[in-house]
Amino acid sequence: MKVVKNFVVAMSMKSEFAARRNKLYRIAYSWCHDPALADDLVQETIFKALKNASNLRDAATLDGWLYRILYNCWHDYLRIKGRNVEFVEMHDEDQADHSENYQQSQIVKRVRASVEQLPLPLREVVTLADFAGFSYAQIAEITDVPIGTVMSRLFRARKNLKNQLLEFGSDDLSEFKLRRVK
C-alpha cells in the first residue's frame, strides 16, 4: 500500500520537480562547472525526490528539501571521487559578436571564474544565497551547518569575490560598474 501511496504522491509532485529543474541545474553547475555532471546531479536529485516524495511533510518546504537532496548528491559525488576532482574551464563559443554582448559576457565570465576560485564551502553558500535566493536559515538547513557559520562563510565569500572583481575592474574593462543583483 505504501508503494501505491508513494507513486500517487510522486506523480502529483512531478510537475513541481520539473518546474524547478533549471534552477537546480544552475546551482549544480555553479558547484561542479561540468554540464554533464550537473545534469547527472539534477537527475539523481529528482529521482531521489520522486522516490521519497511521500516523506515530504510540508509542500511549502519543497525548495529547501530539493536543494538539500542536491547538496547531498553533490557531496556523495565528492566522497566517491575524492576531494581532488579537477575542474575544466568551459568557454562559451556561441556568443554574438556585438560589443555590448561581448562586454557583458566578459563580466559574466569573470564573475563565474571568481566564483569557481572560491573554496567549496564558500562557493556552496554564496550560490545558494545569491543565485538561488535562499535565506540564511534555509541555507543552514540545506548545508547542515549553524546559521553563524553560514553568515561567516557568506561574508568571506562576498569579500573574496569583491576583491577579485575589483582587481578585474582595474583591467582594460574598468569602465564597467559591477553591481550586486539580488
Q: Could you report the per-residue pLDDT of 61-87, keeping only the tens digit for each?
A: 788 888 899 999 999 898 887 755 455
Q: Give the rounded percent of residues in the chain with a pLDDT score beyond 90.
A: 19
Report yes or no on 91 lying in a domain: no
The CATH number linked to 135 is 1.10.10.10
Report yes or no on 26 lying in a domain: yes
Which of these ranges, 44-48, 78-82, 176-180, has the smallest mean pLDDT?
A: 176-180
Cell of 79: 566522497
Report yes or no on 90 lying in a domain: no
Report yes or no on 86 lying in a domain: no
Is the pTM here over 0.75, yes or no?
Answer: no
The CATH number linked to 69 is 1.10.1740.10
Distance CA 64, CA 83 (A): 25
Confirm if 51 and 10 have CB atoms less than 8 A apart.
Answer: yes
Q: What is the dihedral of CA 43, 78, 58, 22, to 10 degrees?
A: -40
Same domain for 72 and 136, yes or no, is no
Distance CA 18, CA 139 (A): 22
Q: Using pLDDT thresholds of 50, 70 and 90, give the confidence band for residue 98.
A: low
What's the number of domains the chain is made of?
2
Same domain for 146 and 106, yes or no, is yes
Choosing from 81, 109, 143, the residue where a domain stops is 81
Same domain for 73 and 144, yes or no, is no
pLDDT over 90 at 39, yes or no: yes
What per-residue confidence (pLDDT) applies to 16? 76
Report yes or no on 162 lying in a domain: yes
Exposure of 28 by Cβ count < 10 A (0-12 exposed, 13-18 middle, 19+ buried)?
Answer: buried
Choosing from 51, 81, 111, the residue where a domain stops is 81
Domain region containing 34 = 2-81
Q: HSE-up of 52 (CA within 13 Å, CB side)?
A: 13
Which residue would you say has higher pLDDT here, 55 or 138? 138
Distance CA 104, CA 173 (A): 10
Identity (one letter) of the amino acid at 83? R
